[in-house]
Structure 1
Amino acid sequence: MDPSVSIFGDWGTSRLRLYLRQGKSVLDRRDGPGVSALTQSPERTFLDLIGDWREAQPSGAILCGMVGSRIGWAEAAYAPCPATAGDLRERVLKIEADGLPVSIIPGLSCINPLGGPDVMRGEETQILGALELDPALKQGRHLLVLPGTHSKWTVVQDGAITGFLTAPVGETFALLRQHSTLAAGVGADVQGSPEGFAMGLARITEKGPAVLSHLLFETRARQLLDALPAADAMGFLSGLLIGADAAAARQWFGDLWRVTLVGAPALNDFYGRAIAAHGGRTVAVDGDSAVLAGLSVLSPQNNSEFHVLA
């Protein structure tokens, strides 16, 4: 085995991203199905995808996300908050796949600001990566939001993740789009428009998140009575949901209303606009870069610098 070669992976519910790394460089990337869409075992799926990468003699693989859940490859027990990189590293689950050492990062658990239980898997790695990419976040108290299927509002204190609050915004949008009359007749390929998003954001900002359930039906009524185009309607729905999430979060995190966004550029932009509508300021960190940096922090080599080859 070559100790300079390793495999990084972010294996969530809906997708898998694998990276072949040598030294500080990511040499190749492959995508695969998330743990909810597997047609064979996680081990077989992983081995099939890395295939010829074995010729590079990787020393091991390190994976984060739902791969460590009860529906994944092997369950890695949650680490309780507050948690540092060292706490997570101590709880890494070690298994093997056809002789290749595989490390699975545990998720985190906490009691959230509403007094209920909360969990995350995968986001903890992105958060630690964001701290590496912006070392100023390691000092003092900061608010990060990781937008996505389950958006995570997370507080970091002096480099430790102290707690978080989850909102299933992306999942709610997908359910309403696919299984409700709000999007009846809207083609699967229709994307939400920026104009529609601005309209929905303005509406929820005006009326407040408490009336979200009543505003949601306007997505349908505006199509029927105002001839709202399908793309604008889907943007409107997204604006309502993301705007309501930001408005509600300010109730709990208003003293930290300079927010670091960690996610895909499009989602970072939407959340940035929603937070700005409620008087906040944001800086953005690319989610893929953050997960790579986080896996570097948690890897046995603990080398947080990396470069992706074009």
Structure 2
Amino acid sequence: MKAIRVHAYGGPEAMVYEDVPSPEPGPGQIRVRQTAVGVNFIDIYFRSGAYKAPSLPFTLGKEGAGVVDALGEGVTDFRVGERVAYAGATGTYAEEVVVDTKGVVHVPDSISDETAAAMMLKGLTAQYLLRRTYRVQPGDTILFHAAAGGVGLIATQWAKHLGATVIGTVGSAEKAELAREHGCDHVILYRDEDFAARVKEITGGKGVPVVYDGVGKATFPASLDCLSPFGIFASFGSSSGAIEAFDIGILAAKGSLYATRPTLFTHIATRESLDANAAELFEVVASGAVKIPIHARAKLADAAQVHRDLAGRQTTGTTVMTP
């Protein structure tokens, strides 16, 4: 089978499209013939070496969807021919992937394979941010950075569905229009405006109870100035670079604030939590309350260009690759 392999950490050119043996499922695993592969910023972290793979060479990718075509020993909750999806797999940049069943969910008939692959990691991230990290309530006003990104376009729609007023930051006028189309009530061009001052202006000086930040270095520490007393700074990514170490006393000085760095994989670590979180995601998508924006499609062989576009922050919404 064909797969994207990384033999040495580096730039997009480090990814090699090559033949590898078809994997065999072990106990508690299934093999999936993939029909769609999700693309996420975490893939860049692994390719570059910011996050380390267990060993080199390795196959990139965490997210995908497809059809079960082989069962490992002891597997009873999945059958050959069933449609499945996953957000915490290893090596999904491939025609076939072996996945532990504890990280796999059945895909309902109301959700296409492409939609499932596009939304598992980003959609489940939006789910834990909005429903667990800070549980958004009707009447809340929230700030979501990179509102036109893959997670942002899902989260802003969902937050609006929950009854929130959504402030979003974006990097261009084109992205601002896209963010408005997906639920943002107020859009701030953070490269051109003082976004903290604008948030205070929008909220009448009160600030917001939560800032969801997947940008990192470029938006910190100004994000803290957007928060009301006891507010939560939820840092879930660092597309502009990692946030440098800071004096925790700044949280006290700015209003007894909370700062957290959650990850998706903690939130879906058990069968029960994965099923519950995925069911909530599938429900809002199937109902039409949240639409999954797939704005780019590519072949697996073109993964290097996909990464260039993603790293250059040229993308909006979600990119899906087909093997």
Q: What TM-score bracket applies, with the shorter chain setting the length?
A: 0.3 to 0.5
TM (norm. structure 2) is 0.33
More helix by share: 1
